[in-house]
Amino acid sequence: MMIIMKPTATEKEIQAVIERVESAGARAHPSRGEEVTVIGAVGDREHVTRLGLDASPGVERVVPILKPFKLASAQLRHGVRSVLEIAGRRIGGQHFALIAGPCTVESRDQVLATANVVRDGGAAFLRGGAYKPRTSPYSFQGLGQEGLRLLAEAKEETGLPIVTELMDVRDLDAILEVADVIQVGARNMQNYPLLAEIGRCDRPVLIKRGLSSTLEELLMSAEYVLKEGNEDVILCERGIRTFETAYRFTLDIMAIPVLKEMTHLPVVVDPSHAAGRRDLVVPLSLAAAAAGPTASWSRFTLSPRRPSAMARRPCRPTSSPRTWIR
Amino acid sequence: MMIIMKPTATEKEIQAVIERVESAGARAHPSRGEEVTVIGAVGDREHVTRLGLDASPGVERVVPILKPFKLASAQLRHGVRSVLEIAGRRIGGQHFALIAGPCTVESRDQVLATANVVRDGGAAFLRGGAYKPRTSPYSFQGLGQEGLRLLAEAKEETGLPIVTELMDVRDLDAILEVADVIQVGARNMQNYPLLAEIGRCDRPVLIKRGLSSTLEELLMSAEYVLKEGNEDVILCERGIRTFETAYRFTLDIMAIPVLKEMTHLPVVVDPSHAAGRRDLVVPLSLAAAAAGPTASWSRFTLSPRRPSAMARRPCRPTSSPRTWIR
Amino acid sequence: MMIIMKPTATEKEIQAVIERVESAGARAHPSRGEEVTVIGAVGDREHVTRLGLDASPGVERVVPILKPFKLASAQLRHGVRSVLEIAGRRIGGQHFALIAGPCTVESRDQVLATANVVRDGGAAFLRGGAYKPRTSPYSFQGLGQEGLRLLAEAKEETGLPIVTELMDVRDLDAILEVADVIQVGARNMQNYPLLAEIGRCDRPVLIKRGLSSTLEELLMSAEYVLKEGNEDVILCERGIRTFETAYRFTLDIMAIPVLKEMTHLPVVVDPSHAAGRRDLVVPLSLAAAAAGPTASWSRFTLSPRRPSAMARRPCRPTSSPRTWIR
Amino acid sequence: MMIIMKPTATEKEIQAVIERVESAGARAHPSRGEEVTVIGAVGDREHVTRLGLDASPGVERVVPILKPFKLASAQLRHGVRSVLEIAGRRIGGQHFALIAGPCTVESRDQVLATANVVRDGGAAFLRGGAYKPRTSPYSFQGLGQEGLRLLAEAKEETGLPIVTELMDVRDLDAILEVADVIQVGARNMQNYPLLAEIGRCDRPVLIKRGLSSTLEELLMSAEYVLKEGNEDVILCERGIRTFETAYRFTLDIMAIPVLKEMTHLPVVVDPSHAAGRRDLVVPLSLAAAAAGPTASWSRFTLSPRRPSAMARRPCRPTSSPRTWIR
């Protein structure tokens, strides 16, 4: 950690910072420039952070040197990428996988018909929400337990492993009976009790990036799971919130190569939620694949005649899942 | 809801939208301009939203007309502002209240000494965290149950009502034994199972705005609590995430007058978290009070010699809580 | 334009809005719902906009229906994409072109050596700045006239057409002597006198998106050029400013398919400025090409031993321009 | 400048960075930690910056230590705030001044009537635009020379000094005949040739913060003016672009106390443009004044019956400029 002092900092203020650093068991290395003094602090990051030195008199700002995540870092595995094997499908490394399915499980007909098309289109996983986080309490919140039952039936029929969202720690046991991958949604990316509980399970988890979370924060959320012993964490970019109003969210394609440098964990992209429009899913999936992700994700449903939560109509042959795979 | 068609939309696409609107039990009012057609949809908002018309062929975009929140809206009370009375303190309307205390409860000495200063400075509530959401799993996560016990002791000694954070729905009973106001943090603003559970309690709740949540989303989170029957909701602006790197978050002072127009609920401002610097707390508190909030919030601790989570050192006499009250 | 009234708007306020709309020569179509009244205004957009109705009593907000750009819109050419032919190179439509060269022209050796490598690598255009907008007045501001002379020499030697930036309207004549494409930088995207002056020239212009400009604003800047008679406008996405600190700017790949839907103008992507890192240029160029742009842009220089403005070192064979072309 | 190396950086990469730093005439101070090496570079900031070390192999990132602005820095005047005296009015330090007037000069009647009300309301300056930057080329662009003439007449009649915007460097002489303060708009904040030209004049300039410019960038723009010899620079916060859609821009009140710490220059706030709504001007002006600015700025016009550019109707007695002054 580097503590950069203000140009107006007094010698007494500099000494006070040095003493506080050393009181936390760290070593202080002051470097006195012509205009400002910089103090390097070497030691336990957490102890020094707790000193709250950025609020001390004479301190301009504190610059962390080391990354705060450890188990998620690329260095942990010396640059070797993690590959997860889930029900015979591989995700991570050079493996490309398509995860597709309806946003929300709505009926037996819908989920079974969609699951068959998704499997025939070459998808590796079936996704579908039984519990749905909805901005409005007046919106349909998902079928709950009944939705999980339908997903189990779709898995039975198609053999596709299931990805489904956990919102409430009290539903964990029910989710574990069906899910091959537990999904943590963007709104829950920093729900730490939920992450820690999943960390104590023996089941892969896919964590979606919060809509205004930095990559470092996403990796810290992964770290909550990893720290409890669960090593099977997948990260998912799904669009961030910006000033642009032409689309719902801005899919951050740059996150893919940068995450791959920062971490060994598999990276997945969800172009459906970012765009909010079916016609952007194919170009964005291709762009994401070109930038180097290991999997792509799509809302995909087969119910043209009934009100579906997000009303994706069936993809026509020209935009079937198979065409997204390069 | 207004459905704006593309200039290239065909008559068949227009008819298809009209039919889908009517299939949801709503009435469709097409208005054909020279360049584009606009279709007004009058009826149940949720039913029409579920049609997902923004993904239909020929649709440019869908513009909602009515606000999605009802119980939180200013109109519900015909412009009369809600005033909560909590342990003899009033919050809301024209009442100004100061909520102060340590970020995190760390020890008996710390919390009792701080509580006395806070009370003597004129604060109406004592705040302090027993459970703390921390970006890093390696950071101090709070004293938990022991922290709640210390808050109870501080309440006993000073008579100040307590504001403390609930992160995990499984801790609700323990929190209810001590908290006069349950705090929901910014990271949990869209933790809907948590909000719904609090909605079923008979205890005031203070909801912090998510760091990239719109005001409408904040009011929808309040709606989750209100819908379950709990009418005592307080909203708190605490800084949003922007491109500016000179401060941790950008305190959105405009939110105060705008929220007061949108909702009858009390509005509180937390300048401490936004700034991350002690010297900005006083000017920002004054600015917030001038813009018309009903309460201000401050991290405030009295432990200069020991590592505190955010290491606020004691305020000197010139910046004591009393001077913030106008 | 739709004027959405507040639920509390009085009949008198509604009438006042109708009268003001009609006073501007437009027709007003009120639609009275159960909760709110919406007034459609049909007529000259500019006249109605100048009424400033969003500040009138009783008005909730004003929603524009028609796009404010006309000459840049995809409909102008009935969905046919514009293709520019510049010195024998095509840009736009299905044509892919690579634009490469040094950020700043620094010396004769540098520009000539780079130009040869760029041509041999398959680039269609040579880019290089003689005038450079620099955040700091103490930074090197470019060689000016001398830089233009060196670009002319590189063009003579390699046959590559030149793209170079115009910052000051007083330099237009000098730029016109050398540039095959005039570049308008992100900081000048809304420098309207500059755009209008270029609009009166007979020379293609490449306009970079401002770092917090919406796509609609970018198209309005193009409209300033088009309105004066210059039809040869190229748009360039180069990264937007977001909260993320892991990279300098966030390259907005979604802008590519969305711009292609909004406008007939060619779209180019500059991954170099967004990333600020050489190793991200290749994955981002591939992603952009997959999403459907017509050209990609790269800072590229050949001066490893001397301080260059952005110090790009020569690309090694494995990342030569040729490999970026799909 | 601190160069933070990657944990995987080799000794050769570390040496290469040290050599490059020293090749620029600076001294390199490597500090080898257990996990990473940090190299301090002491010497001419510009020379080291031009090395572009953040793109060198093995470099994680480069952290600047010193502020890039000098003449604008608070230290230049040892913490003493600059006070400008303009036509007998003081701006800066503890002086509060109100700057009010119409957004756009539209007619003789409008500008004279408004000027009288503004003076009677206690304003110190009359503002009004003769040249207007408009997003659309089809919008009214201001009266130009005729507008300047009308401002001169209003000044003659009321004695109020004039603040008016310069957009095009070719209009500078005409502006200088009328303006007591030259305004540079948000869109031109980084129009460096314009800033440098104003820097060579002997006339105060008010620079508006760009809608996504950091405070450091704003100060660098001021530095362009100061460097040329013009010391009379005023800074103006006018709202930044964020994700929030409830208002046009988010007024960044935190910028006031933070700018006052960073610079000796006077700081002004424009709440009118941020809000886009008349009813927010008073609460935001009060908030800004409470946070410590030296002046406030308001669009203010007196033409209820005619289409005005932004259609501010006359302020009623209860919201007259006088009430904004504390």
C52 is a domain residue: yes
Residue A303 in this model has a pLDDT that exceeds 60 = no
Residue B311 in this model has a pLDDT that exceeds 60 = no
In chain D, whose CA is at the least distance from the CA of A44?
D34
Which residues on chain B are in Cβ contact (under 8 Å) with A71?
A: none
D201 is a domain residue: yes
CB within 8 Å of D53: residues ≥ 6 apart:
C311, D3, D17, D20, D21, D59, D62
Local confidence band at B300 (pLDDT 50, 70, 90 cut-offs)? low
Query: How far A149 CA lies from chain D's nearest CA (Å)?
Result: 39
The pLDDT, as a whole number, for residue A61 is: 87
Tell me which of D244, D270, D277, D278 to substitute to probe the interface with B (most B C-beta atoms closer than 10 Å): D244
Q: What percent of chain B has pLDDT over 70?
A: 90
Average confidence (pLDDT) over A11-19: 94
Average confidence (pLDDT) over A13-23: 93
Local confidence band at B307 (pLDDT 50, 70, 90 cut-offs)? very low
Cβ-based contacts under 8 A for chains C and D: 133
Cβ neighbourhood burial of B80 (10 Å; 0-12, 13-18, 19+): exposed
A68 is a domain residue: no
- D63, D92, D113 - which closes a domain: D63
Average confidence (pLDDT) over B247-270: 94
B70 is a domain residue: no
Residue C326 in this model has a pLDDT that exceeds 70 = no
Using alpha carbons, select from A138, A79, A17 the residue that is nearest to residue A264. A79
Local confidence band at A7 (pLDDT 50, 70, 90 cut-offs)? confident
Residue C200 in this model has a pLDDT that exceeds 90 = yes
The pLDDT, as a whole number, for residue C287 is: 92
pLDDT digits 0-9 by tens, A69-126:
999 999 899 889 999 999 999 999 888 888 999 989 999 999 999 999 999 988 999 9
Same structural domain, A50 and A88:
no
The pLDDT, as a whole number, for residue A282 is: 86
B41 is a domain residue: yes
Same structural domain, B118 and B237:
yes
Taking an 8 Å cut-off on Cβ atoms, the answer to whether C242 and A254 are in contact is no
* Paired tokens of A21: 């650093």
Q: Judge contact between C253 and A286, C-beta under 8 A.
A: no
Using alpha carbons, select from D194, D255, B70, A212 the residue that is nearest to residue C35. B70
Same structural domain, D157 and D94:
yes
* Paired tokens of B37: 């057609």
Residue by residue, DSSP assigns B86-120 as: ETTEEEBTTB-EEEEE-SB---HHHHHHHHHHHHH
pLDDT digits 0-9 by tens, B27-40:
888 888 778 888 98
The pLDDT, as a whole number, for residue D320 is: 39
C88 is a domain residue: yes
* pTM metric for this prediction: 0.91
A278 is a domain residue: yes
Q: Of the given ranges (B294-298, C86-90, D41-45, D185-189), which has the lowest mean pLDDT? A: B294-298
Mean pLDDT, chain A, integer: 87
Same structural domain, A58 and A89:
no
Local confidence band at A24 (pLDDT 50, 70, 90 cut-offs)? confident
The pLDDT, as a whole number, for residue D312 is: 38
The pLDDT, as a whole number, for residue B87 is: 94
pLDDT digits 0-9 by tens, D163-208:
999 999 999 999 999 999 999 999 999 999 999 999 999 999 999 9
Taking an 8 Å cut-off on Cβ atoms, the answer to whether A256 and C283 are in contact is yes
- Show the CA angle centred on residue B185, arms to residues B184 and B190, nearest 5°: 80
Report CA D225 to chain centroid distance, whole Å. Answer: 12
CB within 8 Å of D305: residues ≥ 6 apart:
none
Taking an 8 Å cut-off on Cβ atoms, the answer to whether B307 and A55 are in contact is no
Residue D324 in this model has a pLDDT that exceeds 60 = no
Q: Judge contact between D216 and D69, C-beta under 8 A.
A: yes
Taking an 8 Å cut-off on Cβ atoms, the answer to whether A40 and D63 are in contact is no
**A65 or B105, greater pLDDT:** B105
Residue at token pair 């890093």: B136
The pLDDT, as a whole number, for residue B299 is: 61
Same structural domain, C95 and C238:
yes
Q: Judge contact between C150 and C108, C-beta under 8 A.
A: yes
Q: CA dist A116 to A101, A315, C202, C221, D188, Å?
A: 10, 13, 57, 48, 57
Local confidence band at C279 (pLDDT 50, 70, 90 cut-offs)? confident
Taking an 8 Å cut-off on Cβ atoms, the answer to whether A250 and C246 are in contact is no
* Paired tokens of B190: 């869209």
Enumerate the β-bridge partners of residue C237: C269
Same structural domain, D180 and D55:
no
Q: Judge contact between B246 and D216, C-beta under 8 A.
A: yes
The pLDDT, as a whole number, for residue D313 is: 33
Mean pLDDT, chain C, integer: 87
pLDDT digits 0-9 by tens, D62-74:
888 888 999 999 9
Local confidence band at D215 (pLDDT 50, 70, 90 cut-offs)? very high
Nearest CB neighbour to C46, from listed D133, D139, D167: D139
In a 13 Å sphere around the CA of D128, the CA atoms on its Cβ side amount to 37
Q: What percent of chain B has pLDDT over 90?
A: 61
Q: Which long-range contacts (CB under 8 A, 24 or more apart) does B143-148 make?
A: B143/B104, B143/B105, B143/B106, B145/B174, B147/B104, B147/B105, B148/B174, B148/B175, B148/B177, B148/B178
Taking an 8 Å cut-off on Cβ atoms, the answer to whether A224 and B170 are in contact is no
Taking an 8 Å cut-off on Cβ atoms, the answer to whether D286 and B288 are in contact is no
ipTM exceeding 0.90, yes/no: no
Tell me which of B36, B65, B216 to substitute to probe the interface with C (most C C-beta atoms closer than 10 Å): B65
Report CA A259 to chain centroid distance, whole Å. Answer: 11
Residue A310 in this model has a pLDDT that exceeds 60 = no
Rounded to whole angstroms, the Cα distance separating D292 from D268 reads 10
**A7 or D10, greater pLDDT:** D10
pLDDT digits 0-9 by tens, B50-80:
788 887 889 988 888 888 899 999 989 988 9
Local confidence band at A316 (pLDDT 50, 70, 90 cut-offs)? very low
Tell me which of B60, B170, B191, B214 to substitute to probe the interface with A (most A C-beta atoms closer than 10 Å): B191
Same structural domain, D38 and D88:
no
In chain A, whose CA is at the least distance from the CA of C276?
A254
Using alpha carbons, select from D167, D170, D214 the residue that is nearest to residue D69. D214
Local confidence band at C305 (pLDDT 50, 70, 90 cut-offs)? very low
Residue B313 in this model has a pLDDT that exceeds 70 = no
In a 13 Å sphere around the CA of D231, the CA atoms on its Cβ side amount to 10
Same structural domain, A214 and A272:
yes
**A321 or C200, greater pLDDT:** C200
Residue D156 in this model has a pLDDT that exceeds 60 = yes
Same structural domain, B229 and B148:
yes
Taking an 8 Å cut-off on Cβ atoms, the answer to whether C243 and B245 are in contact is no
Mean pLDDT, chain D, integer: 87
N-terminal to C-terminal alpha carbon distance within chain B: 44
**B136 or C50, greater pLDDT:** B136
Average confidence (pLDDT) over D313-321: 34
Which residues on chain C are in Cβ contact (under 8 Å) with A216?
A: 246
In a 13 Å sphere around the CA of D284, the CA atoms on its Cβ side amount to 32
Residue C26 in this model has a pLDDT that exceeds 90 = no
What interhelical angle do A281-291 and C281-291 show, nearest 10? 160
* Helix (H) or strand (E) segment spanning residue A85: strand A84-86
The pLDDT, as a whole number, for residue A235 is: 96
CATH number for the domain that contains residue C175: 3.20.20.70
D70 is a domain residue: no
Query: How far B192 CA lies from chain A's nearest CA (Å)?
Result: 7
Tell me which of B69, B70, B138 to substitute to probe the interface with A (most A C-beta atoms closer than 10 Å): B138
Query: How far D104 CA lies from chain C's nearest CA (Å)?
Result: 11
Q: Report the domain count for chain B.
A: 2
Same structural domain, D116 and D36:
no
CB within 8 Å of A100: residues ≥ 6 apart:
A118, A121, A123, A125, A126, A127, A297, A298, A299, A300, A321
Same structural domain, D19 and D109:
no
CATH number for the domain that contains residue D19: 3.30.70.1140
Pairing of strands B2-5, C84-86: unpaired
Residue at token pair 């962390």: A64
Residue B304 in this model has a pLDDT that exceeds 70 = no
Residue A315 in this model has a pLDDT that exceeds 50 = no
Q: Of the given ranges (A292-296, D120-124, D267-271), which has the lowest mean pLDDT? A: A292-296
Which residues on chain B are in Cβ contact (under 8 Å) with C79?
A: 8
The range of the structural domain enclosing residue D111 comes to: 84-323
Same structural domain, A273 and A210:
yes
Residue at token pair 């690598």: C121
